[in-house]
């Protein structure tokens, strides 16, 4: 619990540094594994979906066009933090990275636009106590479909990711780590609204993430099975541009500990 309180203080400070529609939430809910019953949960998302449209709030260090043929390059921070008071309530992980990559935007049509991304990123994935940590370099490629107008944003993205590095456990030393992931992401933002001050915003933000992880190098005591599936869905309803209500569902096993998660969380969303 002390770790969660410390993270809350840190993440509230982070909100002033990074701009994204949904960045921080605090919730309370129900878990469905073993004897866990209720849980406190905290999450932070920054550029969670690879290739997220900058028009939709993605935050980039660098996002530049190369010539006039549809190519570009980017460097952006990523952060995905999911902390729960019970093991089964969330992955209890802290993930940060800095992908540097190339993007090619195909010719836009009436149905939207397709883009191809390839990037490399140093990444850290740690448990909430920083006692079980993964350090690796990942190479990733994605194909993204995007439909964007004044009323709606739809992102659908899938690809492949390969990571190689090490697992460091506080009391057990270091092991080689490697995994192959096939991810699928879906994001929908819609329902125009106007605040009392006249600021335009979207009321609905629905984000889904599905991952199939195949781990081919790791500590055998942690990985009793080499293949893992993880699913996360988060639905935000905004009352104002900065405050909303969310429902989050976790199910599956995720880095770094690959322990079973199954929970539904109801929470408060803060955004910028």
Looking at residue 43, what DSSP letter applies?
A: E
Domain map of the chain by residue range?
2-270
Cα(170)–Cα(252) distance, integer angstroms: 25
Beta-sheet pairing, 132-148 with 93-97: unpaired
The verdict on pTM exceeding 0.85 is no
Handedness of CA 221, 226, 227, 230 (dihedral sign): positive
Radius of gyration of the chain (CA): 19
Check: CB of residue 70 under 8 Å from CB of residue 103: no
Cα(188)–Cα(204) distance, integer angstroms: 8
Using the structure block, give the residue that is written with the tokens 């935050």. 59
At 96-133, the pLDDT tens digits run 899 999 999 998 888 899 999 999 999 999 988 888 99
Helix (H, G, I), strand (E, B) or coil at 14: helix
Kindly report which listed range (20-29, 230-239, 253-262) carries the lowest average pLDDT score: 20-29
Cα(167)–Cα(146) distance, integer angstroms: 36
Helix (H, G, I), strand (E, B) or coil at 152: strand
Cα(154)–Cα(207) distance, integer angstroms: 10
Beta-sheet pairing, 200-217 with 227-238: antiparallel
Q: Give the mean pLDDT of 196-215.
A: 91
Q: Give the mean pLDDT of 157-180.
A: 94
Cα(104)–Cα(142) distance, integer angstroms: 11
Write the CATH number of the domain with boundaries 2-270. Answer: 2.40.160.40
15 — pLDDT class (breaks 50, 70, 90): very low
Check: CB of residue 153 under 8 Å from CB of residue 61: no
**pLDDT, position 225:** 87
pLDDT above 90: percentage of residues in the chain? 43
Which residues touch 94 (CB under 8 Å, ≥6 apart)? 81, 83, 124, 125, 126, 127, 128, 130
Which residues touch 173 (CB under 8 Å, ≥6 apart)? none
**pLDDT, position 57:** 41
Check: CB of residue 164 under 8 Å from CB of residue 178: yes
**pLDDT, position 123:** 95
Q: Which residue has the higher pLDDT, 198 or 141?
A: 141
Check: CB of residue 43 under 8 Å from CB of residue 20: no
On the question of pLDDT at 238 being above 60, the answer is: yes
**pLDDT, position 46:** 66
Q: Which residue has the higher pLDDT, 272 or 180?
A: 180
Check: CB of residue 14 under 8 Å from CB of residue 44: yes
Q: Give the mean pLDDT of 206-230.
A: 92
Looking at residue 255, what DSSP letter applies?
A: T
Structure tokens at 90: 């969330």
At 16-67, the pLDDT tens digits run 333 235 567 878 887 777 665 566 777 776 655 555 544 434 567 888 889 8
Q: Give the mean pLDDT of 200-220.
A: 92
What values do phi and psi take at 9, rounded to 5? -60, -45
């Amino acid at each position: 619990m002390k770790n969660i309180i410390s993270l809350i203080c840190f993440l509230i400070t982070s909100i002033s540094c990074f701009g994204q529609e949904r960045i921080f939430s605090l919730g309370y809910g129900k878990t469905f594994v073993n004897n866990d019953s209720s849980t406190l949960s905290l999450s932070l998302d920054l550029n969670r979906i690879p290739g997220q449209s900058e028009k939709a709030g993605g935050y980039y260090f660098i996002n530049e066009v190369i010539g006039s043929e549809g190519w570009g390059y980017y460097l952006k921070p990523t952060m995905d933090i999911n902390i729960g008071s019970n093991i089964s309530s969330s992955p209890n992980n802290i993930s940060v990275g800095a992908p540097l990559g190339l993007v090619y935007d195909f010719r836009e049509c009436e149905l939207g636009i397709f883009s191809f991304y390839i990037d490399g990123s140093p990444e850290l994935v740690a448990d909430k106590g920083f006692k079980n940590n993964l350090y690796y370099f990942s190479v990733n490629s994605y194909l993204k479909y995007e439909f964007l107008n004044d009323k709606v944003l739809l992102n659908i993205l899938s690809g492949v990711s390969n990571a190689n590095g090490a697992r460091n456990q506080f009391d057990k030393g270091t092991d080689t780590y490697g995994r192959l992931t096939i991810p699928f992401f879906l994001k929908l933002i819609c329902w125009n609204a106007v605040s009392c001050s006249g600021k335009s915003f979207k009321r609905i933000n629905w984000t889904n993430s599905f991952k199939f992880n195949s781990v081919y190098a790791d500590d055998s005591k942690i990985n009793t099975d080499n293949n893992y599936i993880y699913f996360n869905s988060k639905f935000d309803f905004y009352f104002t541009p900065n405050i909303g209500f969310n429902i989050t569902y976790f199910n599956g096993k995720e880095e770094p500990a690959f322990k079973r998660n199954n929970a539904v969380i109801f929470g408060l969303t803060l955004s910028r």
